Chains A and B, each alone.
Chain A
Amino acid sequence: MKLHPTRILMYLLLSFLALITVFPFYWMLILATQTPAEIYSFPPHLWFGTGAGANYQSLISALPTFWRNMWNSIYVAIMATLTTLFFCSLGGYAFAMYDFKYKNLLFGFMIATMMIPQLLGIVPYYIEMSIFGWLDKPRALYVPGMASAFGIFLMRQYITAAFPKELMDAARIDGCSEFRIYWNIVLPLVKPGLATLGIVTFVGSWNNFLGALVVLRSREAFTLPVALRTLQGYNTIRWGAIMLGTTLSVLPILVVFLAASRRVIHAFTATSGIKQ
């Protein structure tokens, strides 16, 4: 491949854009290690500093619940992922495999709910959760979404494509119970679909801000996004400490993405309905 001037220009442009997307993450990482003197130095300090330990102390004193909040995020994300995978695959299986009265009507109704903007539900969401007594409880964040219309729809598509109905009849004749057909035969066949839905659910839960802001009131119950947001109010806290907290909060997703970027990107494009 010869390097034409236009080709060099093209790669410069692509690299420049890549630099712009990656730079803020780099900046976060190095600010997290800088002392205030280094952050406020001129010319700016563009490399790792010497304040990581002090920033950590400052972060923990401003936000003593930090690790608790981290655990809340992990717990909610895992619960959201497991429950979504179970209930959506179950629902998708029913829509794919069974014939029952009003099936098409129900399915159409379910699809229609996907068009409702999320904000329309925010006030009733809060009111329901407070009536249930679920404010400040992790389940307020994962129970309402665990049988999402979108997830059921997605799993129905995967199951319809992977598992022909005739196979179910054969399994039945062999004496397999309905639940075992689903659990032992269908689920292993739709592993790619489960991975896709799982990735999207986990990332969505990890990054969920508005929902958590609405139903979580006390510091002990906060997930990371809401906890980090409370740091903004402090005038005394160092920016380095806020960036350290931010770094720790994005690290899990970042590591997974760096390890399996193709799989993650595929999950998000597959759930947008574009065939690849």
Chain B
Amino acid sequence: MHWVGLRNYRFLVTDPWFWQALETTLVLLVLSGFTQHVIALPLAYIIDRRVPPRLQNFFSASYFLPYITSTVAVSLIFSTIYGYHYGILNEFLNYLSTASWSSWAFGWLKKSLPINWLGNTFYIKPSIIIVVVWRWFGWNTVLYLAGLQAIPEELYDAAKVDGANAWHEFWNISLPLLRPIIFFAVTMTIIGNMQLFDEPFILTNGTGGIGRAGMTVAIYLYRTAFEWTQMGVAAAMSWLLAIFIGALSVANYFLFARSAFGRGGKS
């Protein structure tokens, strides 16, 4: 080990693989993060306001199930589902595009089937996003549900007296009061997904995929350190990644939290 100054950092900022990995990570973060929260928020609201308690437990337990399962197990299962010739997803899409009841809506899929989910530079990202969303939307739903259950019933009663419908309730009561929790959940999504490793690593068989299309910064870092034994470069990369995570968290704070911790959102 010897002192090299900023050489490792200088290497990284001019390294096209690093920037590609960062871009991949950000694309996966934005698309999967946005999708899971957009599913989780209304879902938690519906479960909290419209579903009787016994069924609440049933639904939240089923949505939560993927979260406690190992990422390796989950990714291996999805590898079989995404199989090119005999994967159940392609067979299901094939069925939809040919069956008489559904071909009017799905017939257009016919010409692109079978889809090479994990072996094509375009489809790798959606494949990873589907797994990440599948694994995390339940966690966010449960989180939001816990937040919603803390909102006093009187607020909803008062709104009902004022003639509010479900849409008003969601938009003007639930959402503003959930803002601190949304801030927390989005922060967790940013920190977690910026370090996304397990799912893309398994789905691309440890490589990052064709054309490195599924190679996140975490995978690049792992391979740099442990395949190419460039510990110094890998350590520098982890610092750059930490700086990006910090910057995104601060940006998120200014977007969500300032007003959330102030007066509780707009009326």
Residues of A at the B interface (CB closer than 8 Å) are: 1, 7, 10, 14, 17-18, 20-22, 24-25, 27-28, 31, 39-40, 42-44, 116-120, 122-124, 126-127, 203, 206-207, 209-210, 213-214, 224-226, 228-229, 232-233, 239, 242-243, 246, 249-250, 253-254, 257, 261-262, 264-265, 268-269, 272-276
10 pairs of A and B residues whose beta carbons are closest in the complex: A261-B61, A207-B70, A225-B72, A18-B62, A123-B235, A269-B146, A28-B77, A246-B73, A120-B238, A24-B77
Q: How far is the CA of A254 from the CA of B68 in the complex (A)?
A: 8
Told that A25-B77, A27-B77, A120-B241 touch, could you supply 10 new A-B pairs with CB distance under 8 A?
A: A21-B138, A27-B80, A27-B88, A28-B73, A43-B95, A122-B221, A209-B198, A246-B73, A253-B68, A253-B70
Shortest beta-carbon distance, B35 to chain A, in Å?
13
For the complex, what is the distance from the CA of A46 to the CA of B67, rounded to whole Å?
25
Q: Does B76 contact A (CB under 8 A)?
A: yes
- How far apart sit A225 and B69, CA to CA, in the bound complex (Å)? 11
B116 near A: Cβ within 8 Å? no
B65 adjacent to A22 (CB under 8 Å): yes
B59 is an interface residue with CB less than 8 A from chain A:
yes
Complex Cα distance A18/B88, Å? Answer: 18
Whether the Cβ atoms of B181 and A274 lie closer than 8 Å is yes
Q: Provide the residues of chain B in CB contact with A225, threshold 8 Å.
A: 70-73
Beta-carbon contacts under 8 Å, B176-208 to A: 181, 184, 188, 191, 194-195, 197-198, 202, 205-206
| B234 engages A209 (CB within 8 Å) | no
Q: Is the CB of B65 within 8 A of A123?
A: no
* B242: contacting residue among A31, A40, A120, A246, CB under 8 A: A120
Cβ contact within 8 Å between B194 and A117: yes
Is there an interface contact between A228 and B86, defined as CB atoms closer than 8 Å? no
Q: Which residues of A lie under 8 Å from residue B251 when comparing CB positions? A: none
A14–B76 contact, CB under 8 A?
no
- Could you tell me if B63 and A17 are in contact, using CB atoms closer than 8 angstroms? yes
Q: Chain B residues near A257: list those with CB within 8 A.
A: 61, 65, 68
Docked CA distance A254–B235 (Å): 36
What band does the interface of chain B fall in when counting residues whose beta carbon is under 8 Å from A? 35 or more
Cβ of B242 and Cβ of A116 under 8 Å apart?
yes
Inter-chain CA distance A120–B70, complex, in Å, is 22
B134 interface residue per 8 A CB criterion: yes
Residues of B within 8 A of A (CB): 39, 43, 46-47, 50-52, 57-74, 76-81, 83, 85-86, 88, 91, 95, 134, 138-139, 142-143, 146-147, 149-150, 181, 184, 188, 191, 194-195, 197-198, 202, 205-206, 218, 221-222, 225-226, 231, 234-235, 238-239, 241-242, 245
Q: How far is the CA of A16 from the CA of B205 in the complex (A)?
A: 30
In chain A, what residue has the closest Cβ to B245?
A117
* Assembly CA distance A166 to B230 (angstroms): 56
Establish whether residues A119 and B221, one from each chain, have CB atoms under 8 Å apart when the complex forms: yes
CB within 8 Å for A123 and B77 given contacts A27-B88, A257-B68, A274-B143: no
- Of B50, B191, B205, B241, which contacts A10 at CB under 8 A? B50
Q: Is the CB of B191 within 8 A of A239?
A: no
Give Cα A28–Cα B78 distance, bound, in whole angstroms: 9
Closest to B231 in A: A123
Q: How far is the CB of B215 from chain A (nearest CB, A)?
A: 15
Known interface pairs A254-B69, A261-B61. Does A126 touch B225 (Cβ–Cβ under 8 Å)?
A: yes
Instruction: Return the chain A residue nearest B241 by Cβ.
Output: A119
Q: How far is the CB of A274 from chain B (nearest CB, A)?
A: 5
Query: Of the candidates A17, A25, A209, which one forms a contact with B72 in the assembled complex, judged by CB atoms under 8 Å apart?
Result: A209
Are B62 and A21 neighbours in the complex by a CB distance under 8 Å? yes
> A246 vs B68: C-alpha distance in the bound complex, in angstroms?
14
Known: A14-B51, A118-B195, A120-B239. A24 touches B226 (CB 8 A): no
Question: Nearest Cβ distance between residue B26 and chain A, in whole angstroms?
Answer: 15
Whether the Cβ atoms of B235 and A264 lie closer than 8 Å is no
Given contacts A123-B234, A275-B150, contact A203 B142 (CB under 8 A): no
